[in-house]
Amino acid sequence: MEQKVALVTGITGQDGSYLAEQLLEKNYLVHGIIRRASTFNTSRIDHLFKDIHDPDARLFLHYGDMGDASSIWRIVDHVAPDEIYHLGAQSHVRVSFDIPEYTADIVALGTVRLLEAVRRAKKKIKFYQASSSELFGSSAPPQSEKTAFHPRSPYACAKAYAYYIVQNYRESYGMFASNGILFNHESPRRGETFVTRKITRGIARILAGKDKLIYLGNLDSKRDWGYAPDYTDAMYRILQHKKADDFVIATGKTHSVREFLEECFSLVKLDWKDYVKIDPRYFRPSEVEVLQGDASKAKKELGWSPKMQFKELAKLMLDADMKKEGLKGVL
């Protein structure tokens, strides 16, 4: 069988690392776009990397940036992928209020830069867009493909542009371009400033004697939290579907930040109220109160359903952070 070639933007991120792993297992040649940084930023994919001179090497990295059209066009031309998974983004909602213009440039315009590179390519390339449940914002749960969008942050507004431009290129140019509208998904590789990881890492550091407290913002908001590798599997399925389309990917269950705290602290037999302080710095000018997805379309058409649920996820993440601190884990 012919070896498929995938190009992954955001390959150094949580999702990019799991997706690269899964594609390599399926015998793909995987190319990723990475940013130049003054420190190493490939820790999530180092275990996948072979010296490029090794004849068995199947993972290749290229310097580029979603803000730089010429690098994107050059990489798409050079790699000539069968599939592009577009995950690269300024992905932090709270930070998007501080850097709204940059967020729009990378998240919204970055997507159209990449789509233009695909449009002018000689071969047909399938395109996956990392759309987000943040698009739903204040729309009442449960949210499905039919729910109206009401974005509540510069990040969500930029993702709304990206969502619609993907649909527009599909309709205008007949491209195989699909949106995965993914609800929150977490893992031991989650960025340390997202709330679940901040909590599990914070507990581990408290137990290791490095920190005394965890400072958080709004504990009342509710999220539909799933496990990242389940969600990167959904991305792959979306591009293997018979036609380009848009899919909600979610567990269908929702829990508050407070419940996540309670779950994790109870695993180490501590009362979270003794270790958590509220710092208004972490409040958002406008919040998304409740996300709870309805992924029945993905179940029916892609045969996708989540394998891991809330309690197991909390335990897995806490265990990994405790072991990183040299402690005995909870698994």
* 284 within 8 A of 257, measured Cβ to Cβ: no
Backbone angles phi, psi at 113, to 5 degrees: -60, -45
Backbone φ and ψ of 17, nearest 5°: -70, -45
Determine, following the binding rule CB under 6 A, whether residue 67 of this chain makes contact with ligand NAP: yes
Stretch touching ligand GDD by CB under 6 A, among 17-25, 38-46, 231-239, 279-287? 279-287
Number of CB atoms found within 10 A of residue 25's CB: 8
Cα three-residue angle 76-82-86, rounded to 5 degrees: 60
**Closest distance to ligand NAP from the beta carbon of 164 (Å):** 16
For ligand NAP, the closer of residues 27 and 41 by Cβ is 41
- How many angstroms separate the CA atoms of 132 and 35, rounded? 22
Q: Give the active site residue among 85, 96, 134, 178.
A: 134
Residue of 132, 133, 153, 178 with catalytic role: 132
Kindly tell me which residue out of 5, 6, 15, 233 binds ligand NAP, with binding defined by CB under 6 A.
15
Q: How far is the CB of 207 from ligand NAP (least distance, A)?
A: 25
19 binds ligand NAP (CB under 6 A): no
Identify the residue among 169, 183, 231, 247 touching ligand GDD (CB under 6 A).
183
Residue with tokens 């309805």, as numbered in its chain: 294
Pairing verdict, β 222-223 and 226-227: unpaired
By CB under 6 A, which span of 29-37, 170-178, 259-267, 304-312 interacts with ligand NAP?
29-37
* Dist CA 20 CA 188 (whole Å): 16
* 306 interacts with ligand NAP by CB under 6 A: no
Region of 27 please: left (phi>0), alpha (psi -120 to 50) or beta: left
Catalytic residue list: 132, 134, 155
- Which chain residues interact with ligand GDD by CB under 6 A? 91, 93-94, 132-134, 183-184, 193-195, 198, 216-218, 221, 223, 257, 282, 284, 287, 291
